[in-house]
Chains A and B, each alone.
Chain A
Amino acid sequence: MTSSEEEWGTPELDYPEEHPLHGRLNLNRFIFCAGCLIGTAITSITTCLVERGLTPKDYAIVSGIGCTGRTSGCFKAPAFHATHGRAIPFATGLKLANPDLEVFVLSGDGDLFAIGGNHFVHACRRNIEINVLCNNNGIYGMTGGQLAPTTSIGDFTSTSPYGNIEPPFNLVSLAAAAGASFVARWPGYDTLRLRESIFKAMDNPGFSFIEILAPCFTQYGRKNKLGDAVKMLEWLREQVVIDKDCPPHEAEYSHEKRRIVCGEFVNNPREGFTQKIKRLRETAQSRRK
């Protein structure tokens, strides 16, 4: 420790010791912009785990790179900050090595679908028992507001100053088509329905995917002149339509048409990958005898 550090002390805030979630969260590591719904996603997961009675030994969090990738530092639990786009492969390894662990992947749209799109599709196909929560803000927030694969047509970003011409991914349709057994989409402010879906995802014996709409007001809102955090949530609420019986290929996601269909689209529990591995191991060992 250098002399200046001794003089000024460690640059950490003192946080209240009597906080109910003090044992679960690093309350001084919430480094997100004031009003960003990433923090709401973290607290939703944590309160669901607390309500289920799981201790930090029973679950693990994996996150990738980006704004939402920084969330792994917020958990006082086995949390891993994986390399860019490789959050799902690390989670797959964790789940295969310890099938009793409840594994959550909390990452952004740029991490899971731009560089890690291949891993996502194959995890859906395998139906491995991990819960993937994608924080979709439609832009690369941390790196300076570049065009992401989830940016809607006509949106302005720093790499599309005349408007985006590429059609975006519909994450719900993609996950359902690839074979995920639980698929939902909720706006980040709709915390009650989001928590219900997190409980269902934890119960589901297979791959669960929840898309959380968390608009980025620092980059996306500034480039598209949509105002601050509260104004952007109002802008989002005008577009959101809740339809629980909608088939996943009709779940529209378009800021251009001002229509985003939210709900639970797939709930089709089937045998997961670790169960199949267990069965395969038993048959192989019985044949050897």
Chain B
Amino acid sequence: MLNSKRTPMLDPPRADKEYKIKVYSEICDGCELCVEFCPCDVLEIDMDNFNSRMLHYVKVIALDKCTGCKQCERICPTVSIMVIERDVPQEDD
């Protein structure tokens, strides 16, 4: 893997960005594809709550691990998960 000469398709994670994950729980089917495809175990199926179609939806458990690869957003069959990125607010010294 490390000897591969292919150029990576995604940009490396950036330290100056922070990410927020928005879940549209009404249209989520709870198919667990995003949970399986997330490389950093950020997501989990919420077994305590369900939406108006009586389906358990996905919830974010560890947002600080998110690297912003957006794999969950691309794989989601119902477009119910979106990754929003913004610049990290600079702290005053």
Q: Point out residues on A near B: beta carbons under 8 Å.
A: 13-16, 19-21, 25, 27-28, 30, 32, 34-40, 42-44, 47, 189, 191-193, 195-196, 229-230, 233
13 additional A-B residue pairs with CB within 8 Å, beyond A19-B79, A192-B9: A15-B26, A16-B27, A27-B78, A30-B29, A30-B78, A34-B31, A35-B32, A39-B76, A43-B79, A191-B75, A196-B9, A229-B33, A233-B36
Are B24 and A19 in touch, CB under 8 angstroms?
A: yes
Within 8 Å CB of B30, what residues of A?
34
The answer to whether A37 and B77 touch (CB under 8 A), given A13-B52, A192-B10, A229-B31, is yes
Classify the interface of chain B: helix, strand, loop or mixed.
Answer: loop
Give me 29 A-to-B residue pairs in the complex whose CB atoms sit less than 8 angstroms apart, sorted by A's number. Answer: A15-B24, A15-B27, A16-B27, A19-B79, A21-B79, A25-B79, A27-B24, A27-B78, A27-B79, A34-B30, A34-B31, A35-B29, A35-B33, A35-B77, A38-B77, A39-B79, A40-B74, A40-B76, A42-B77, A43-B76, A43-B79, A44-B74, A191-B75, A193-B9, A229-B31, A229-B32, A230-B33, A230-B36, A233-B33
Asked whether A32 and B77 contact (CB < 8 A) given A13-B27, A16-B26, the answer is yes
With CB as the reference atom, state the residue of chain A lying closest to B33. Answer: A35
Of A39, A192, A195, which is within 8 A of B78 by CB?
A39
**Number of interchain pairs (Cβ within 8 Å):** 74
- Tell me the bound Cα distance from A13 to B29 in angstroms: 13
Is the Cβ of B27 less than 8 Å from the Cβ of A30?
Answer: yes
Q: Give Cα A200–Cα B82 distance, bound, in whole angstroms.
A: 25
Q: Would you list the 7 A-B pairs with minimal beta carbon distance, nearest first?
A: A39-B77, A35-B31, A34-B29, A34-B31, A191-B74, A30-B78, A192-B9
Return B4 CB to nearest CB of chain A, in Å.
12
Q: Could you tell me how many residues of chain B have their Cβ less than 8 Å away from some Cβ of chain A?
A: 23
Which residues of the other chain, A, contact B77 by a CB distance below 8 angstroms? 30, 32, 34-40, 42-43
Question: Would you call B27 and A28 a contact (CB within 8 A)?
Answer: yes
Q: Which residues of B contact A189 (CB under 8 A)?
A: 37, 75
CB neighbours of B86 from chain A (8 A): none
List, in ascending order, chain A residues with CB within 8 A of B78's CB: 27, 30, 39
A230-B74 CB under 8 A given contacts A14-B26, A15-B27, A16-B26: no
Determine how close the nearest CB of chain A comes to the CB of B78; give it in whole angstroms: 5
Query: A283 CA to B36 CA in the complex, in Å?
Result: 59
Complex: A38 Cα to B75 Cα, angstroms: 10
Within the complex, what minimum Cβ distance (angstroms) separates B7 from chain A? 12
Residues of B within 8 A of A20 (CB): 82
Q: Does B53 interact with chain A (Cβ within 8 Å)?
A: yes
Known contacts A13-B53, A30-B27, A193-B9; is-contact A230 B76 (Cβ 8 Å): no
Least CB separation from A21: chain B residue: B79
Chain B residue nearest in CB terms to A47: B74
* Distance of A93 from chain B, by nearest CB (Å): 30
What residues of chain A lie closer than 8 Å to B75, measured between beta carbons? Answer: 40, 189, 191
Q: How far apart sit A230 and B38, CA to CA, in the bound complex (Å)? A: 13
Option from A16, A39, A47 in Cβ contact (under 8 Å) with B24: A16
Interface positions, chain B 1-50, Cβ under 8 Å from A, are 9-10, 24, 26-27, 29-33, 36-37
A42 to B27, CA, bound (A): 15
Question: For residue A195, which residue of chain B has the nearest CB?
Answer: B74
Alpha-carbon gap, A193 to B74, bound state (A): 11
How far apart are the CA atoms of A34 and B76 in the complex, in Å? 10
